[in-house]
Amino acid sequence: MNECQSFFDTSAIVKRYVAETGSEWIRAQCKQTEGNTIVLSYATLVEAVAAFCRKARQQDLNQRISEADRDRHVKLFRQHTQEQYGLIRVTKSVCIRAGNLCRVYKLRSYDAVQLATALIMSESFITDGKTAPIFVSADTDLLSVAEAEGLDSQNPNAYS
């Protein structure tokens, strides 16, 4: 992906901060010199912090991060949301769309909100004659639904 708009769900953006499969690819996409625009849902502000907290509570010591790392990741993520990412509000129409997606697909609530946000963003881009953003997620089930809904997608785990 060179010089493009991408919508990252939480499973993708967390990889920028915590080393795991696909992290190098995500970090490359986030480099400001690449000219990529990364867009997140406001829901990610909650989900990412929750993900960092879960990682600090992991029973598996190989996957656990320290509380100091958790706090550092949260601080850096919040700084990046101010300086580097575009943010899309979770509006009533996003919530209604998310609920409708849950009626059709087996989705968790925040996954539905992420997808609804990306779909509305994509439709807006297409209406404006722009190229639709790429939906980036490490959740294979969510990627399947995104593709069924017509979004171009990328899985960072494919770039290990």
pLDDT value, residue 2: 41
Structure tokens at 87: 């943010």
- In single-letter form, the type of residue at position 129 comes to G
pLDDT value, residue 34: 67
pLDDT value, residue 31: 87
Structure tokens at 122: 């994509």
pLDDT value, residue 137: 98
Rounded to the nearest integer, the mean pLDDT of the chain is 94
Q: What is the pLDDT of residues 17-36, one digit of tens each?
A: 999 999 999 999 998 776 78
Structure tokens at 30: 């986030």
pLDDT value, residue 153: 97
pLDDT value, residue 54: 96
| Contact of 86 with 118, CB cutoff 8 Å | no
All structural domains of the chain with their residue ranges: 5-158
Residue spans of alpha helices (H) in 1-108: 10-13, 23-30, 44-57, 67-83, 92-104
**With a cut of 50, which residues of the chain have pLDDT below it?**
1-2
Strands in 82-144 per DSSP E: 85-88, 134-136
Q: Using only the alpha carbons of the chain, give its radius of gyration.
A: 15
- Strands 134-136 vs 85-88: parallel, antiparallel or unpaired: unpaired
Tell me the pTM: 0.93
Fold of 5-158: Rossmann fold (3.40.50)
